[in-house]
Chain A
Amino acid sequence: EAGVTQFPSHSVIEKGQTVTLRCDPISGHDNLYWYRRVMGKEIKFLLHFVKESKQDESGMPNNRFLAERTGGTYSTLKVQPAELEDSGVYFCASSQLRPDSLYEQYFGPGTRLTVT
């Protein structure tokens, strides 16, 4: 079974540019989560999709961040325009909808975003 995949693995952009991160969850996983780790800090929750619907976006830092999950499969996270403080590692995770599996979140390797 393929794991959670993320693309790209690393992105370097200039301040003011736009970047789109992609996450492909494990097949059949209806829950999809985005997290971010800023250097030296803890991993923080950004948002949670159930299928194509946003269940919880309480962690999104501001309206420069836009997440989508069209069709309930892969998800994209767009940052526009990027600022220096957006640098960090963006993780995607997925889990099944079954009650006993809700918290068994499988994480991807992350996308390292560097804004210069």
Chain B
Amino acid sequence: AQSVTQPDIHITVSEGASLELRCNYSYGATPYLFWYVQSPGQGLQLLLKYFSGDTLVQGIKGFEAEFKRSQSSFNLRKPSVHWSDAAEYFCAVGDRQGAQKLVFGQGTRLTINP
């Protein structure tokens, strides 16, 4: 069965610092890969997705993620975080074979220090 692991439940970084959120997945083949963000009181917003092609994917709000097949990872990065990036981040995978459901990781809560 597919599974997604986000090893860090909570991360705190200073404003202006770089950020990397980890995501590893377990799946028989390369799935579709996603990062979502949920700000307080809001729904989940799609940050970026990987289907195929270039393994470095650019998303909204200055985020990027890199797919590494050998490591079954899809880590999210941002060179310089802003206070507004404080939120919960979810990595998810989708099955290429037809079922459109998403399988999510446990989420990483990001706190920004001023």
Contact = CB atoms under 8 A, between A and B. Distances in A.
Contact of B101 (A42, A56, A107): A56
Interface residues of B, number: 24
Of A91, A102, A109, which is in contact with the most chain B CB atoms at under 10 Å from its CB? A109
A48 interface: yes
Given A103-B34, A103-B94, A45 B46 contact: no
Interface in A67-116: 91, 93, 95, 102-110
Contacts of B32: 103
Contacts of A55: 100
Interface stretch (B17-25, B77-85, B103-111): B103-111
A69 B92 CA distance: 25
A42 B103 CA distance: 9
B67 interface: no
24 contacts: A33-B100, A33-B101, A35-B102, A42-B104, A42-B106, A43-B90, A43-B107, A44-B104, A45-B102, A45-B103, A48-B101, A56-B100, A58-B101, A91-B43, A95-B100, A102-B100, A103-B94, A105-B102, A106-B43, A106-B46, A107-B36, A107-B43, A107-B45, A109-B41
Interface of A: 3-4, 31, 33, 35, 41-45, 48, 55-56, 58-59, 91, 93, 95, 102-110
